[in-house]
Amino acid sequence: MLRTLVLLCYNLILPIMLLVMLPGAIKKMRARGGRWRDLWQRLGFFSESARAELDALHRSHAEVIWMHAVSVGEVGIAVKLVHELVRQRPQVGVVITTTTPTGMAQAQKLAAELPGAVIPLYSPLDGWFVVRRCLSVIRPRQIVLVEAEVWPNLVQAASRRGIPVRLVNARLSPRSERRYRQLRTLVQPIFTLLTEVMVQEPEDVERWLSLGLDAKRVVWTGSIKFDEAGDREPVEQMAEFRQIMERAGISPSRPVLLAASTHAGEEEEIARVYLRLRGAHPALFLILVPRHVERAVEIQQRLGSMELKVRRRSLVDREQSIAPDCLLVDTTGELKAWQGLATLVVVGKSFLATGGQNPAEAAMLGKPVLFGPHMENFSALVRVLLMRQGAAQVADFAALQGRLDHLLRHPQEAQIMAQAGRAALRNHEGATARTASRLLRQ
């Protein structure tokens, strides 16, 4: 009865929420290269070619899994998991859905790597009529949700059809846990429909249990993102980016300070830190990778007033001017490879915003990682890294400058930090294989 009431309220509010979000969603879609016809797929209307591909997938594979990954980060996790699923059971086919054009580009690349085994689609909106239509067309054996994307109508509709719904690589930040606990009466009826929740950290088990899930349904498997096994270093892409830097007049021998997934205001502050560091380290080069690439023009304009020669990554070959001081990456899906070329990595959204961004990728690449005081969304990971001295947390930009200066003067200490950070993530080794095995044993 309570679940019915919760879903009724949700479905009454959902159309209003979609209307409010529509202008912003359209703006983002256009900025990120989306197409109007993609909206039809999000409403559950599939083209004849898409239906034919799905029919062929069912004919050629004994089991079809629907895997949903919101955007680039989640799709990256899904890519590793899909490769492992197909390795363990070649007769598995996967329909991977994503929300953003950048996520779709990554999913299409996966489909090209596993032809005939993977079909990328845009995720449907969670309207009760939309998800029912999608379930009828996709016909999955099970549904896999990456991280924490739990849709009430989809979960309910799948449950009624006897389709298991599993959450993989699940994480629940302290902030989300507090919010869900406050709304426990509303969220518990939906979360208890989940067949299984596979969490990243041991302490995440208790957080999910606090929302009313049965203890048998919550299990620690480790983080797929932090699992080096099955993770491939982007060697070819790194070689390509070295050539881009050389064409821009940047020698590969120069030390590189990279700021990853920065948010508004952080680019200017980190640029000021960089300019002050250059007095003692004149060869230092700066790479900025903003979290939202559509801000690139604005960022370039702001940095241009700081006596900083900035070149956008997409325009390197068009602008044959003097060598820049800073490369501004305005293309998506390239953060990992750029981090692979860095000497030091600073994690964004940790100084002027709350939550932070994920430091694990840089740590796994063997890079010294630094971040600001606000890493709330990755508290468990940060605790492990700091305990093992595999990263450095600083209070503000002045402290960041001091720590960067010290590491540049003492590269052996930077190397020790990098090695410790990589070692700190080894308890996640095998997470991809463990997750795949649990999915396939249903």
Question: What letter would DSSP give residue 119?
Answer: E
- Classified as helix, coil or strand, 237 is helix
> CA 394: distance to chain centroid?
24
- Classified as helix, coil or strand, 383 is helix
> CA 322: distance to chain centroid?
35
Q: 343 is written with which tokens? A: 């000497």
Identify the CA nearest to 140 among candidates 166, 114, 158, 122: 158
Asked if residue 375 lies in contact with residue 350, where contact means CB atoms within 8 angstroms, the answer is yes
Distance CA 238, CA 23 (A): 37
Q: 36 is written with which tokens? A: 């109007």
**Cβ-Cβ contacts under 8 Å for 437 (sequence gap 6 or more):** 88
Other beta carbons within 10 angstroms of residue 44's beta carbon come to 18
Distance CA 143, CA 248 (A): 46
Distance CA 404, CA 388 (A): 19
Residue whose token pair is 């996790």: 77
Q: Decide: residue 94, CB within 10 A, 0-12 exposed, 13-18 middle, 19+ buried.
A: buried
Distance CA 133, CA 124 (A): 10
Q: Decide: residue 216, CB within 10 A, 0-12 exposed, 13-18 middle, 19+ buried.
A: exposed
Distance CA 346, CA 348 (A): 6
E-strand ranges in 263-358 read: 285-290, 310-312, 326-328, 344-347
Question: What letter would DSSP give residue 311?
Answer: E
For β-strands 285-290 and 256-262, DSSP reports them as: parallel
Is 149 among the residues known to form the active site? no
Residue in 53, 63, 74, 266 annotated catalytic: 74
Phi, psi of 407 (to 5 degrees): -70, -35
Other beta carbons within 10 angstroms of residue 290's beta carbon come to 22
Distance CA 356, CA 261 (A): 9
Catalytic center residues: 74
